[in-house]
Amino acid sequence: MAKKILIVDDSALVRKQLTEIISTLDVEIDTAKNGKEAVEKATSMQYDAITMDINMPVMDGIEAVKQIMEKQPTAILMISSLTTEDASITMEALDLGAIDYIAKPGTMNVGRRENREEILEKINSVSKISPRRLKRQARRAAAPVRERRRAVHREEERSVTPASDLKLTKVVLIGSSTGGPGLIEQICSSLPADYKYPVCIVQHMPEQFTAAFATRLDRASVLPVHETKQNMEILPGNIYVARGGVHMNFAKKVSGKIVVRENKNKGENFFQPSVNDMMFSAMEVFDPKNLVGVILTGIGDDGADAMVALKKAGAYTIGESEESATVYGMPKEAYDRGGVMEQLDFKQILKKVATLK
């Protein structure tokens, strides 16, 4: 039976462009011109996936996502231009339960092969998410918002031992993609003020999105959260989000300090930043026995090979289970290739990372 896809955009041109691309899949396509029409259609029948524009008349995409996830949880992909303003709004939509985003036609050349492939891959993947998981996604969506509000009142908890006075013992490396931002936010908001390890994160996003994402995480966490930049020192009790458009590598200075080295060479990686690239680089600088590798939900296999190498070298590796992963792609590949020591659902991973000894 063909999947049912709803394309929501006030631009007839964008609706036409997305319809032409998505119709190459075995799907039935419906369209809506604004958020109000989208909510009416999405709550009268169950679509397998929805593409949702942000700025529309009558009702915008944010309010539409909120209402759809409350009334009829559905896999929603936001249509976002690559601007700082849209990045911030898209983060809000992800908080409300949207699964991921695709680049708005016109922002990038939608006709380019890699962009068409990304749209098709994401539509194909999110349309397979079960209603049960979507309901769980909707329930989970409100938690990070509560955590952000709570963190605002806990600013004083940041007055703990200065990170520069602590030694680097363990380093936590986390990779995620589709479905990951909300989970990353929950991890960051759950870490205590006296957490002694640096946490390095690769979430597949373009540059404008990682800046907005890091800012959002910083508001959610009692630990400082940074978007990485060249020569930034890696310190205990700090969280580092890999900047979009470059790989997050590491280097040891003569002084012994570990710093970020941005690698602009994309190499064979489809994503930049890449989970594989971060993890392989970490193995060259840190003792692998002091590394903890974590792979969360996501399309594709980024991080799988590095997780295998980490495990073989003595690192502790964790993969998200099929039961809890929104998209069981990256963690499945890591597990199938033998790179996962423990496969846990997200709640267990959350506890494991927060209480790491």
Please report where in the chains the tokens 């506890």 appear, as a residue. 351
Q: DSSP H helical segments within 153-257, as ranges?
A: 181-190, 207-220
The 3-state DSSP composition of the chain as helix, strand, coil percent (nearest 5) reads: 40, 20, 40
Contacting residues for 91 by C-beta, under 8 A, at least 6 apart: 181, 209, 212, 213, 216
Q: Is 287 a catalytic residue?
A: no
The catalytic residue among 9, 81, 86, 204 is 204
Closest by CA position to 102, among listed 133, 123, 127, 84: 123
Taking the chain, what is the end-to-end CA distance rounded to the nearest angstrom?
49
Number of other residues whose CB lies within 10 A of the CB of residue 230: 10
Q: Is 204 a catalytic residue?
A: yes
Closest by CA position to 278, among listed 307, 298, 245, 249: 249
Exposed / middle / buried, residue 43 (Cβ in 10 Å: 0-12, 13-18, 19+): middle
The catalytic residue among 274, 302, 321, 324 is 302
The catalytic residue among 177, 189, 274, 281 is 177
Q: Is 302 a catalytic residue?
A: yes
Closest by CA position to 82, among listed 173, 195, 206, 171: 206
Q: How far apart are CA 306 and CA 298, in angstroms?
A: 15
Q: How far apart are CA 287 and CA 36, in angstroms?
A: 54
Q: Where are the beta strands (DSSP E) in the chain?
A: 3-8, 27-32, 49-53, 76-80, 100-103, 171-176, 199-203, 225-227, 239-241, 247-252, 258-263, 291-295, 316-320, 342-344
Q: Known catalytic residues?
A: 177, 204, 302
